[in-house]
Amino acid sequence: MTSQLIVAFAIAVILILVGVFIAILVSKRKKKGEPVETNYYAFFVMGISFLPLGIVLSIVISPGFMGITGLGVVYMIIGLANKDKWRKSKTKFLVPPENRRK
């Protein structure tokens, strides 16, 4: 029981640190005047990832993991509802045509 408590506490501390880090990044961007743009395509991809993960975990481990399935559904809905706002250039990480092998 104590090992589960330690793991839960460690996860909570990690989540708090990540939240503080994200808050610092957002506040620095706001000070620079750069608009903080939401990447709705990332919401869709996370929803696609969380949906099957939650289903598998709820079947294999515990029905308590249905929350992850619900989170996946919500993320997919948010992503699909804002499909017109997905970033237009998803190909910026690809190699430009002039640098490709022939």
Domain boundaries, the chain: 1-36, 38-88
Taking the C-alpha atoms of residue 18 and residue 52, their distance in angstroms, rounded to an integer, is 25
**Predicted confidence band of residue 46 (pLDDT cuts 50, 70, 90):** confident
**Predicted confidence band of residue 78 (pLDDT cuts 50, 70, 90):** confident
Give residue for tokens 């190909």.
Answer: 91
CA distances from 71 to 6, 50, 68 (A): 25, 7, 5
Q: What is the pLDDT of residue 94?
A: 57
Average pLDDT over residues 6-11: 85
Average pLDDT over residues 63-85: 86
**Predicted confidence band of residue 5 (pLDDT cuts 50, 70, 90):** confident
Stretch among 7-11, 33-37, 66-70 having the lowest mean pLDDT:
33-37
CB 53 within 8 A of CB 70: no
Tokens of 78: 């948010």
Stretch among 30-34, 45-49, 66-70, 72-76 having the lowest mean pLDDT:
30-34
Q: Which of 4, 79, 7, 85 is nearest to 45 (CA)?
A: 79
> Within a 13 Å sphere around the CA of 31, how many CA atoms are in the beta-carbon half?
6
Q: Which DSSP state fits 99?
A: G
Taking the C-alpha atoms of residue 99 and residue 38, their distance in angstroms, rounded to an integer, is 31
Q: What is the pLDDT of residue 57?
A: 85
